[in-house]
């Protein structure tokens, strides 16, 4: 797959989710072809990650955002199955703690940014602060921001300000060696309902659904509008958004795997070369070992 224009949100393009088919499967005719492609990409990732880790000059940050039941957890599980755990860190962000609320909205995620040589995965992220807080603005009041005592005090400019902060933050990361790739797993409302019902009917998945999930589903339109606005304002050349069709999990995983492999290839990481004193040390070590 090339960088499919039906998936990549080009910077400057106004996102309308209705223009992105959540059931799109690209060039794949069936599940088998997608699974075969993913298997090959997982194999490729092993070598690419090893070079990233050894070179220690770049980091990769993958951000996953989605509506409930879109498949974030399963996508991370399947796509990253070939990655060495020593070179990867997954962070799932839940409701912020009191300590986190007493800092700026980027603070809690900054603590978990990947260091050079590592792949970092954010299951949800600082984008929650322009998504869930926009749908439920009362949550902003918990952050004790100056001058905001009631929902009516929250200025409309707050969201544009946060978009600007996010873009500048991601620009700083990119220029410091972190490649940022952002995935919005685009699931339809019909498919979400189907998956919720499956979680109820399957005892092994009962734990994955709660009343809060259904209550949030009632805010579907508000979330779609929030996503359209946030992704439009924050898809940049340095940190693009990919709108990944999520109604067919097999395509979703193959698409994410393909993009990750392309990203790692573009970094052109190489194993560090050995020369000079280090090369002389290796020759000496070899002689010592051969004498044993």
pLDDT in tens, the chain (292 residues): 455 767 989 898 999 999 999 999 999 988 999 999 999 999 999 999 999 999 999 999 999 999 999 999 999 999 999 899 999 999 999 999 999 999 999 999 999 999 999 999 999 999 999 999 999 999 999 999 999 999 999 999 999 999 999 999 999 999 999 999 999 999 999 999 999 999 999 999 999 999 999 999 999 999 999 999 999 999 999 999 999 999 999 999 999 999 999 999 999 999 988 777 888 888 889 999 999 8
> What φ, ψ does residue 272 adopt, rounded to 5°?
-60, 135
Tell me which long-range contacts 167-170 makes (C-beta under 8 A, separation of at least 24).
Answer: 167/233, 167/234, 167/236, 167/239, 169/106, 169/126, 170/234, 170/236, 170/238, 170/239
Residue 8 pLDDT = 87
Distance from C-alpha of 259 to C-alpha of 8, rounded to nearest angstrom: 10
Distance from C-alpha of 274 to C-alpha of 281, rounded to nearest angstrom: 10
Q: What is the pTM of this model?
A: 0.94
Domain 8-291 has CATH 3.40.50.300: yes
Residue 103 pLDDT = 97
> What φ, ψ does residue 233 adopt, rounded to 5°?
-80, -15
Residue 3 pLDDT = 56
């Amino acid at each position: 797959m090339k960088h499919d224009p039906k998936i990549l949100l080009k910077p400057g393009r106004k996102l309308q989710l209705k223009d992105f088919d959540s059931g799109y499967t690209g060039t794949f005719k069936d599940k088998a072809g997608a699974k075969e492609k993913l298997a090959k990409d997982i194999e490729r990732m092993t070598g690419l990650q090893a070079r990233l880790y050894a070179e220690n000059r770049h980091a990769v940050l993958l951000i996953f955002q989605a509506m409930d039941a879109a498949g974030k957890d399963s996508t991370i599980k399947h796509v990253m199955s070939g990655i060495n755990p020593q070179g990867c860190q997954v962070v799932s962000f839940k409701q912020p703690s009191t300590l986190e609320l007493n800092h700026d909205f980027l603070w809690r995620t900054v603590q978990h940014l990947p260091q050079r040589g590592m792949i970092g995965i954010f299951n949800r992220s600082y984008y929650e602060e322009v998504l869930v807080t926009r749908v439920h603005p009362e949550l902003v009041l918990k952050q004790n921001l100056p001058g905001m005592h009631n929902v009516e005090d929250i200025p409309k400019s707050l969201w544009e300000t946060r978009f600007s902060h996010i873009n500048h933050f991601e620009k700083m990361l990119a220029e410091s060696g972190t490649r940022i790739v952002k995935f919005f797993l685009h699931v339809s409302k019909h498919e979400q309902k189907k998956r919720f019902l499956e979680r109820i009917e399957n005892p092994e998945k009962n734990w994955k659904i709660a009343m809060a999930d259904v209550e949030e589903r009632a805010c579907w339109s508000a979330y779609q509008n929030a996503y359209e606005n946030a992704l439009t304002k924050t898809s940049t050349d340095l940190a693009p958004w990919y709108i990944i069709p999520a109604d067919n999990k097999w395509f979703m995983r193959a698409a994410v795997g393909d993009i990750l492999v392309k990203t790692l290839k573009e970094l052109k990481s190489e194993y560090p070369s050995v020369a000079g004193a280090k090369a002389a040390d290796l020759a000496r070590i070899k002689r010592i070992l051969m004498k044993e």
